[in-house]
Structure 1
Amino acid sequence: MNRTLGSAVAALSVFSAASSLAPAAASAADAVFVLASNQNGTPVLDPIRASLVNLADKLIYDCLVEQAEDQSFHPHLATAWEVTPDGMQWTFHLKAGVTFHDGEVFDAETIRWWVPKFAGTENAYLVEAIDKVEVVDPLTVRFVMKHPDANLLYNLSSGFMGVPAPKAYDAAGTDYGTKVAVGSGPYELEKFATGVETVLTRNPAYRWASALSKNQGAAAFEKLTLREIGDPATAFLEMRTGGVDLVVDVPPAVVARYQTLANVKMTSMPGFGIFYMPINTTVEPFTDVKVRRATALAIDRKQIVDNLYAGKGAAATTFLLASLPEAKVDPKLQLTYDPKAAAALLDEAGWKLGADGVRVKDGKPLVVTLWTQSDTEFKRMTEVVQAQLKAIGMKAEIAVFDTSAIRAEYKKGKQQLAVRSYGWNNADILDWFFSGERIGYPNISMWKDPAAEELRIKALKGSRTLDERIANFRAYHEYVLAQVPFAPIYEPVQTIAFNADRLTLPATIRGPQFSAATVMDIAVK
């Protein structure tokens, strides 16, 4: 076993009694959840302009459409919809009787106000295909399209398209999402501290849950606190001592610890993204595609799955979830572990192995920076990646940034390598992280390639049907893989642990991730 890897795994079994513990939930009507680590650090609860959304967004805001675990779409604020054969008009029929937390009525005028708000934001692509919004009647709205968008229902179901209350949104200005967040969802915002916790209170008037929830009325908890705990050891201690009631994302290496708790049950669901290593293509030595490919081939993904994650999850070989059709690329383009090929590529690129094990070119050693965020899982994986890069003669110096601050650092474009993850189950995540229009963040790879841009635009705007969209995104994905602006690492499963003495979870976790549809059906004992 790699020495660094062994240390990382051993660290998972050390649970410090000095960890700070929060008090147990105040009453049976209150609950405390720990957010998934990849949802930590969202700076603002404003889905329109946020670059990251979490469970709080799905509980504060409702969407027009919801996606089920089988990727089918179901009504929420929209009760039904039709699309013309040419894909150029979508008509949505809206649910009657819906009100926002401030009492404002939800109707077709809300949608006409809402869609243009995305203009100029990082999320504008979600509605870019909509040319105009027409109010047909108070509960019917029509989208007239610039071009067909076979992905529209998916976009409308995402956490970035929760609908805020118009008056509250406009009145709050830049304070919206930090001090004020008003939706029509089952919970209202009481307090938000980025990187720490979000405190929500039940919306007693709620009567319009999505079609995925059996409970169509108010939620079970009067108060719900969503905590951000990056250290899995601390999260375990909190569960053991009663400080939390549910942990959304239990790392596989600590599942056995939870199994020792008599009052804790666990359930699993497919993961919602991958861990990957963006490679800054504008900074030496990674301007050379041979060096980028060698870096990707150095990652021993099976070792990471087996030893860091106890065999749970899968090695990632592309940028997309393996279940997506756009991930079914030419096998020759998949990025797998091949240290001999990595060494040969570095030799070809002029990086020769030095006596100290570090490669050298023109008198300069192959020393690079490897960024990560402060969450324990990221730090441990980064240590493993560091050791694997060392094995091919690349010395990676780790820099750790606070989870809530690292995005601002990425925008400066000074990074070389990093360990990151994303949560998304749609091929348009390729556009998000590799678009030449988003250099710095979220395009941390700083990658702008004319051929890629043509393929990206064709996939986004030139797909009239779902089959066309799949084919176009597969072609774009294959080109990205060929140019190697990243290295895939790991596709996780998601394990949820909960206090079975207090909570009863539904048999099926509805939706592609743990979200409002499931929270609505949790019962308190």
Structure 2
Amino acid sequence: MLLTTMRMDSRTNNSSGHSTRRQILAAMGGAGAVSLAGCTGGGDDDGDTAGDDDASGSDNEITVAVGANPDTLDLAQSNDAPSNAVYGHLVYQTLVANDYDLSFAPQLATDWEVADDEVTWTLQLREGVEFHNGDEFTADDVVFSVERFRGTVNDDIVNSIAEVNVVDDFTVEIVTDSPQAQFLTDMSSLYIYPEGAEGLSTTVAEDDFNFEGGSVGTGPFELDTFASEDRIVLSRYDNYWAEEENPWQTATFQVVTENVSQEEAIQNGEVDVIDSPRAFQLSQWNDDEIVDIEAVGFDLIGFPTAASPFTNQKLRRGMARLVNRDDVIEAIYSGRGTPLAGPISPGLTAFYDQDFTDRMHEEFVGFNVERGNQLIQEALEEEGVEPPINIEVRTNVNEERELWMQEVTQTWDETESINAELNVIDFPSLVDFITAEDGLAQSSDIVIGIGWTGGSDPNGHIEDLYATENQVPEGNNWSLYSNEEVDSLIAEGQETIDTDARVEVYRELQEILIEESPHAWLWTTDRIHVVDPESIEGWSPHPNSSLRFDGIFAPERDSITQPL
């Protein structure tokens, strides 16, 4: 349920929109159309750099090139994918873990059951677990962690919990205020903190703990070094609870924001893995260098629904109809993606239906230039706005995202109703803009392009983005979308346990959302990593972007990357 960043190539951004659509899409065809940039490996003040020790040749250090460092090391306050991917589960852990097939595996809880009342959950906790500060993990830490998440940007994880009762040191009872179908999904996002850690509080605003100075998780690694916008270095925690031996003394995540620079880094033997190869340039890699998996989540365009003329759903649907999803997927993602109509992607299996998606495209948001222009013109007339309107299209620096946003921006700009200009900024600045009360929520002329990881349960694809109570700054409803029927169906979807009945709830939910289109849902694409097959084996990217590096050492999910 967290924001996902994609990485970029640093070639000059053409925000003026002067290049033609044909030039933009043609640029996908070969390396000659894309300027290359040097590696941005960046060192610490002492001159150390990720490549100095030839990490790829070291048996006890794994080095991964990533597009962004964690925004925060306090995961109770994190709503971005890099923070969770780099730090969550490797350093801090949850009661249950999302497995690679999106089922649930034991982590700090070894077993669980729900009573016949469907609201009382009893969890058996793992014994012999030690936090990085030396404290023993017990049921009291679960109580503390639930309270610590309350009132944060991740409050939706715990807001249905009415009681947390300690049965004994290693048994906890959690009572929800109603049946919660996504309970285990929530528990897979509730990071556990030690109650006795000095400086930690159940109210995060009252914390006096230096998260950048050390970690107090239960994961296989602890924090060694954090250099914002440069790297994060994790060291093996020798008192980790698993029987399996962690083969890595050090895991280094080196920030390399440019896609091309990541590719150069792995070709030069400076890193073992890159997480952002250009999908349209995969032909440069051998088969044993590419590791990919069908992902969950989606890319979207977000509209400020509380500000005219974007209060008119016809404008939003019309703009969505001008996006040729199939062409973009083929040109930019080498066909490794699925066009979407709504916020549920194929990775959610039973909850995704292709026939339903096709019908929603036909009725509401599918590519149709004539209908799209007609809807935009009708909306502006109804709002009493003289065309053309001026729109800034804002996204984060990333080659693939920049390219499809250029395509979308130019498509809108070529209409008689819209003057559109692209503005590309760094990912942290984009997150700050969309999560601020006076950011996207108060804008009348800015739309954004970004991604959402969603997670393993359909609720994670909808509640935080579209529930009225999650409007910023309380949650991630940046568009200030509000619909009482949607709110009611979100609650019904959470409380409906039967899968078939729940599928119908989310079908109805999606139909309302798609018709009103607070966002334009675009596509879901495969998770693609490139590895050095001569330095590591067994690399397994997770379908959830927020968990994509868990496989470095996740023995409870039968995933351990080994050095060669």
TM-score between both structures, scaled by the size of structure 1: 0.88
Is residue 42–residue 404 contact of structure 1 (8 Å, CA) maintained in 2? no
Counterpart among 197, 203, 206 of residue 231 in structure 2: 197
Distance apart, 1:510 and its partner CA: 6.4
- Aligned equivalents of 1:119 and 1:320: distance in 2? 27
Moved more, 392-401 or 293-302: 392-401
Structure 1 position 514 matched with structure 2 position 548: yes
Structure 1 position 105 matched with structure 2 position 136: yes
Structure 1 position 347 matched with structure 2 position 377: yes
Aligned to 1:182: 216
- Aligned equivalents of 1:272 and 1:174: distance in 2? 36
Change (3 A) 1:174 1:279: farther
Change (3 A) 1:365 1:344: closer
Counterpart of 2:78, as a letter, is A
Distance apart, 1:102 and its partner CA: 1.0
Counterpart among 47, 50, 63 of residue 75 in structure 2: 47
Counterpart among 394, 397, 403 of residue 427 in structure 2: 403
Aligned to 1:234: 261
- Aligned equivalents of 2:71 and 2:152: distance in 1? 15
Aligned to 2:469: 437
Change (3 A) 1:430 1:193: farther
Moved more, 124-133 or 340-349: 340-349
Q: Secondary structure at the match of 1:198?
A: strand
Aligned to 2:412: 389
Counterpart of 2:218, as a letter, is S
Aligned to 1:416: 446
Identity of aligned residues (%): 21
Matched ranges for 1:119-268 at <5 A? 119-158=150-189, 161-168=190-197, 170-171=199-200, 173=207, 175-208=209-242, 216-259=243-286, 265-268=289-292
Structure 1 position 59 matched with structure 2 position 98: no
Q: Secondary structure at the match of 1:456?
A: helix
Aligned to 2:345: 321
Change (3 A) 1:178 1:463: farther
Q: Secondary structure at the match of 2:335?
A: coil
Q: Secondary structure at the match of 2:100?
A: coil
Q: Secondary structure at the match of 2:290?
A: strand
Moved more, 318-327 or 125-134: 318-327
Distance apart, 1:7 and its partner CA: 3.9
Q: Secondary structure at the match of 1:420?
A: strand
Change (3 A) 1:423 1:13: farther
Counterpart of 2:141, as a letter, is T
- Aligned equivalents of 1:127 and 1:386: distance in 2? 39
Counterpart of 1:336, as a letter, is G
Distance apart, 1:195 and its partner CA: 3.9
Distance apart, 1:270 and its partner CA: 0.9
- Aligned equivalents of 1:194 and 1:351: distance in 2? 48
Q: Secondary structure at the match of 1:323?
A: helix
Distance apart, 1:464 and its partner CA: 4.3
Is residue 40–residue 256 contact of structure 2 (8 Å, CA) maintained in 1? no
- Aligned equivalents of 1:129 and 1:197: distance in 2? 36
- Aligned equivalents of 1:340 and 1:457: distance in 2? 37
Change (3 A) 1:327 1:279: farther
| Equivalent residue pairs, number | 501
Is residue 112–residue 124 contact of structure 2 (8 Å, CA) maintained in 1? yes
Aligned to 2:107: 76
Counterpart of 1:6, as a letter, is A
TM-score between both structures, scaled by the size of structure 2: 0.82
Distance apart, 1:378 and its partner CA: 2.4
Cα displacement string for residues 198-251 of structure 1 (whole angstroms, at most 9, x for unaligned residues): 21111112232xxxxxxx434222111112333210100111111111113433
Aligned to 2:562: 523
- Aligned equivalents of 2:215 and 2:143: distance in 1? 20
Q: Which runs of 5 or more residues in structure 1 are unaligned?
A: 209-215, 353-359
Is residue 44–residue 50 contact of structure 1 (8 Å, CA) maintained in 2? yes
Structure 1 position 365 matched with structure 2 position 388: yes
Counterpart of 1:102, as a letter, is N
Distance apart, 1:51 and its partner CA: 1.2
- Aligned equivalents of 2:502 and 2:86: distance in 1? 29
Q: Secondary structure at the match of 2:347?
A: coil
Change (3 A) 1:12 1:99: farther
Counterpart of 1:522, as a letter, is T
Distance apart, 1:104 and its partner CA: 0.5
Cα displacement string for residues 338-384 of structure 1 (whole angstroms, at most 9, x for unaligned residues): 112102212333569xxxxxxx9754422211110123332222112
Structure 1 position 489 matched with structure 2 position 517: no
- Aligned equivalents of 2:543 and 2:173: distance in 1? 26
- Aligned equivalents of 1:32 and 1:74: distance in 2? 27
Distance apart, 1:440 and its partner CA: 3.7
